[in-house]
Structure 1
Amino acid sequence: MSAVWGFSVAPATAYARRARLIVELIDPVTLGLVHEGLKVEVAGLQSKPAISSSGRFVWFHERDGNPTALRVEAGGLPYLLRGDVAVPPLPPPAPPARPVTHTFMRVELGPSTAYPFDAGITVLRGNLVRNAADEPPIAISDAAVRLRWIDDDAPGEQWMDAPTTSFASDKGDFAVMLRLAPGQIARADVQHLMRVRVAVTRAGSTRLSPEMQIPFHAITDVQASFAWDDLQP
């Protein structure tokens, strides 16, 4: 006589983690994802991020965790990102959609003066101080900086903000860049130099440098510092 023994167990429950915050950090020139060498922290979450196979930073759900602000430290890499970036709250779902369980952020890093810019990009490097009369000079580091240019396809003189925001370093140094989109034409002077201004924003206030002329598709180093007190609203 033979006997048949049956053996069964309940299916194992897999440990599933749900993403709470996904962050893409973007190189300002190549527009590719960057993750190696960066230190990224999020206020409101205790764990460190995982790096996805595509190079995104991923934080998972935590009990009572609520991400509120993102901070990026570039270390020795040629990027700057001043201050914290607010993490938007989860959006309420529109019925009958399922609840949204994670926040997605795409953050473009600012280039530092050490960035190895490719040929064909218009760049201006300079320095920002509080007042030209200060001795020694007092650097301004809490500022976001952009180039402004004139769209030659628009009527009159319409100044446009370059899409990339740069940031002043602890020494006040900055590098601002402009890559025109296909079909865009920047206004030039009779010597075929691009007409630009430097826009500096700090504490919610934006001031502008006098108009300058710089060559297209090249790096221009401005020797004299830009003084915040001399910039115009």
Structure 2
Amino acid sequence: MSRNFDVYLPLERAYSREAMLAVELLDAVTLERITQGVEVTATGLTGKPIVNYGGLFVWLKEDTTNFQTLLVEPGPRPFERVEIPAAQVNRPLHTVELKPLANYPFSPGITAIRGSLIESVPAQGVAPVPIAKATIRLEWLDEDGATWKPSPATFVTDKDGDFTFILRLAPVQVPTLDTLGNMSIRLFAKRAAGAEKHQQFQLLQGRVTDATYAWDQLQ
């Protein structure tokens, strides 16, 4: 009795086909490739992607003239939805780091902030007013005690003002730590209208911190 087997294309061939698009999905926390549980769509292309042996989503023998948007729907997985205009997609290979939601199962040793940005601290019994679509970025204090280093990542608050920020340092990057293992951090929030404010605080390295930031208390 014959049996059907999955057929995968070699990784090196994923880049070499003419008029083709390849997409690499990475977990922004672990940097591992994601191949299952998500839906990847390229609007304007007639075919659907296949996952090759190397873990890339590839469209083969496609005319990309009508390519409009790259969409990544995470489904039940704890990542943000991604929508990228075709003009911003690198070809033939584009890498997307999927950003975690607040319910992401962080492993020990990860430095991250599960935060909320609101207008002001509300009175008891009053719901806070969230600030949506604000861009969040961080700076950390270098071991020299004087130089503030920017984290390359940025995150955007959702409709509820929530965001999850991962602070990932290279082995050669060494922050200033106090006796409790806290890093000195500057968090910057920039509203969609353009105004930016910040707050400086201590953040425990290697832990996930839950915090709420009120716009009227930022500097």
- TM-score, with normalisation over the residues of structure 1? 0.71
Counting aligned pairs with the same residue, the percent is: 37
Q: Give distance in 1, aligned partners of 2:87 and 2:64.
A: 17
Q: Give distance in 1, aligned partners of 2:73 and 2:89.
A: 25
Partner of residue 127, structure 1: 116
**Residues 144 and 167 of structure 1 are in contact (CA less than 8 Å); yes or no, is this contact kept in structure 2?**
yes
Give the superposition deviation at 1:130. Answer: 4.0
Matched, 1:34 2:21: no
Give the superposition deviation at 1:79. Answer: 1.1
Partner of residue 56, structure 1: 56
Partner of residue 20, structure 1: 20
Gaps of 5+ in 1: 1-16, 92-101
Corresponding pairs, count: 201
Q: Which amino acid aligns with 1:127?
A: S
Matched, 1:146 2:137: yes
**Residues 188 and 199 of structure 2 are in contact (CA less than 8 Å); yes or no, is this contact kept in structure 1?**
no
CA deviations over 1:172-201 (Å, ceiling 9, x no partner):
222212122112111234654211122334
Structure 1 or 2, whichever has the larger Rg, is 1
Structure 2 CA distance for partners of 1:104 and 1:229, relative to 1, 3 Å: farther
Q: Give distance in 2, aligned partners of 1:90 and 1:109.
A: 15
Match of 2:183 among 182, 194, 206: 194
Gaps of 5+ in 2: 1-16
Partner of residue 4, structure 1: none
Structure 2 CA distance for partners of 1:215 and 1:90, relative to 1, 3 Å: closer
RMSD between superposed Cα atoms in Å: 3.0
Structure 2 CA distance for partners of 1:49 and 1:64, relative to 1, 3 Å: closer
Partner of residue 67, structure 1: 67
CA deviations over 1:2-42 (Å, ceiling 9, x no partner):
xxxxxxxxxxxxxxx74521111111122111121112222
Partner of residue 214, structure 2: 227
Q: Give distance in 2, aligned partners of 1:103 and 1:205.
A: 34
Partner of residue 207, structure 2: 218
Equivalent residue of 1:65, what SS?
Answer: helix
Equivalent residue of 2:32, what SS?
Answer: coil
Partner of residue 76, structure 2: 76
